[in-house]
A and B are shown apart, each in its own frame.
Chain A
Amino acid sequence: MSELAWQRVTQTDGVHTVALHGELDFSASPRLAAEIESAVGEAQAVVLDITDVTFIDSAGVRLLDRLAEVYAPRGALRVVVDDEGPVRFTLRLCGFPAELLETSRDAAVKAVAPR
């Protein structure tokens, strides 16, 4: 139940939506980072839904940071996460940019969709 898994949910107009569930800690993230990076490939924008992630540590935040490095400068990354709970707490603690966070997947997709 705690094992981390991820799935590609949708891929429309170059926006790749990826949902994760489980615990995003250091043991999972290096492998996961590589997988996600290859999966989104040449995506124009990425929505990472971590609503079902129950735990995230600094290594998990590092993974988000790598995605942000690539997509955030052109406004093409949103992370979907609950407003409360330990995951949001950790992101806040690490100073992850609040403007990259959304609480619903729809809002996140709308935010990064090309006009």
Chain B
Amino acid sequence: MDAAGTETWASDDPFEVLFDNAPCGFLSTDVDGTITRVNATLAAWTGRSSEELVGHCRFVDLLSPGGRIYHETHYAPLLRMQGAVSEIAFELLAADGTRRPVLVSARTRAGPDGTPAGTITSVFDMTDRQRYEQELLRARRRAEQFAGRLGLLEQVVADLAAVPALEQVRAVVTGAGATAFGADVSVLQLRDDEGAGASLWPRDPDVRGGEVVVVSGPGATARFPRLVDLLDAGEAGTVVVVPLSVRGQTTGVLAARFDAARTFDGDELALLRTLGRQAGQAVERAQLFEQQRDVSTTLQRSLLPHVMPEDARYRLATLYRPAVDALEVGGDWYDAFSLDRHSVVVVVGDVVGRGLHAAAAMGQLRSAIRALAAVDPEPSTVLWHLDRFVDAVPAARTATLVYGVVDLQDGVLRYACAGHPPPVLLDERGARLLWDGRSAPLGARFGPAVRAQAEERLRPGSRLLLYTDGLVERRDRPLAERIDTLAAEVGSAAGIPLDALLDPLVDAMLRGVRRRDDVCVLCFAHAEQPTFTWRVDQAPGSPLSDMRHRLAEWLDAQTVPRPDRDGAVLAASEAVANSVEHGYPGGRPAFVQVQASVDHGVLRLRIEDHGTWKPTPSGRHRGRGLHLIRRLMDDVTVDAGAGPVTSGTVVNMRRRLSVAEGR
């Protein structure tokens, strides 16, 4: 064998020197795999001398257990089959048990007769390279994680920018603690929060300075006892407190609990700090937004009428709902007012645009309509004057409105729509749209010289719905279709009590509508329930017994509970007595009319006379009657018409029945 004479090779042979001292290992084996030659480098790696190896060991014996298996199952068969293998990774197991990662290449060696005579193998040390690769891998994993968190943070920032309200901001920020960092529980506490606030991080210099604090175990309880309590954190885990900072001020904290103790590297801490700053800004923005929204909503509501007329012959329901994310006051309004004893005006309108200009124009229009209607309530006349009015109030030009005046004696509605969506009329025949009486918006140059108006007789129990276009506008549907949908919704709400009508109706219309506008709705319910009417045409001194008996009978028929019935009869009697006794001091025949209605558990009385009202003409006696009335009824208004047009007195009173009636 050629291996036999290894030792005899002269050490000064340059090839020998190269062979032994090459920076890689070499070995040759015979057909059995027994090592026949090995260089010094490889021998050193194995921790054995070449004498120990040559003729005694096989290459496979130098490998780690896993390597040996791989050698038998893959390496050796492959080598046999292909005659060569290259760069197979193995671990050398040294005599002292240390391992060395290596790359092995080999090829078979043929004898002089051409039959396999053994193998020649080269072994390269991979220690440094593997460390490098592993570091590379670790770095990559960290980079991926960081990028992932950064991506989540970017998402959080985007989410924060998209949500205006504070509650939404809270949800996004606490959600980020869990999704980006795997917190088990996270809470957001703001300085201004009620009950807790800044006491949760009492004078902690780090938190106040905007630094993220990571504490584990008992240290956390000692430092943030109330936060730990809030998080329900045990001693085993880690608590992270991320200050929300705005311009160097800590306005709150995001506190998170990690049930398994963990540490945070510099990158993670940097991300948490960024999260805190972003959240701080978002919270400030949200608080500001809500403040502004409150201001504009308050302003808008203050511009709408606070007192609606009360009358036994009709009822009113109104609704104003501001746009979801509107910061500026809108120009929508509704109004209703009694014109005289027997007519009432209802208006819904919409000034173009938002902001104070629109709101101011709306207020002016509302006042103008009241003033104009008092002089001449005809719809076309009122609109004609408004056209002139808006010349002086540019912000009110092209406002749209629907105006209606109802004669309460015959139920005739006269109305006009100036560029406004049509009212919906609901009676026992169903719901329909009042498309007549239409003309252009206020002050429109293309408008006709004479304004159109139309007439409709309101049947007993009918309802008239006026609204602004915010109720029907929807970008993905034609307006005409939406108006029809509204009519259908009103029709299907026929049996619903007036008090419970508008909110669900508006909810139904706005379902799925994004970025909706302001909505104003007014519903006029005409004589919903049968009304009691009685005239006392008699001279002072006659008994009112007849009126009392008939009213009591009528109230019985409405199933009004006895105490309410007796109270109402007494109140009506007192009011009529006042009218007869004091309204006609000259002893003229009295005209006194009593009207009563019962609707959804509310009893209304209306006493009208044509005499003169003197609150306390003869000292305390008259006052006692009124005092009694006020004790009997929940609400009493005395309208002593002192003008030249109206004379006499109307007393309107209302009482909620002690047991709500089904009707």
Q: Which residues of A contact B (CB under 8 A)?
A: 2-4, 23, 25-28, 55, 57-59, 61-62, 86, 89-90, 93-94
Contacts and interface: CB of A to CB of B under 8 A. Distances in A.
Contacts of B548: 23, 55
Interface of B: 540-545, 548-549, 563, 566-567, 569-570, 573-574, 577, 581, 621, 624-625, 628, 631-632
Nearest to B571: A57
Contact of B573 (A4, A25, A28): A25
Given A55-B569, A89-B566, 14 more contacts: A2-B545, A2-B549, A3-B543, A23-B548, A25-B543, A25-B544, A26-B581, A27-B577, A58-B621, A58-B624, A61-B624, A89-B570, A93-B570, A93-B632
Contacts of B581: 26
Nearest to A3: B543
18 contacts: A3-B543, A23-B548, A25-B543, A25-B573, A26-B577, A27-B541, A55-B569, A57-B577, A57-B628, A58-B574, A58-B621, A59-B577, A61-B624, A86-B570, A89-B567, A93-B631, A94-B624, A94-B628
Given A2-B543, A93-B631, A57 B570 contact: yes
B621 A62 contact: yes
Contacts of A23: 543, 545, 548
Contacts of B563: 89
B625 A58 contact: yes
Contact of A55 (B541, B573, B632): B573
A14 B524 CA distance: 65
B426 to A, nearest CB: 39
B632 A86 contact: no
Contacts of B543: 2-4, 23, 25, 27-28
B566 A57 contact: no
Contacts of A59: 577, 621, 625
Contacts of A27: 540-544, 577
B79 to A, nearest CB: 116
A90 B545 contact: no
A31 B32 CA distance: 147
A84 B624 CA distance: 23
B292 to A, nearest CB: 50
A90 B577 contact: no
Contact of B628 (A4, A86, A93): A93
Contacts of A25: 543-545, 573, 577
A113 B631 CA distance: 36
A33 to B, nearest CB: 12
Contacts of A62: 621, 624
A23 B566 CA distance: 13
Nearest to B626: A58
Contacts of B569: 55, 86
A26 B570 CA distance: 12
B575 to A, nearest CB: 10
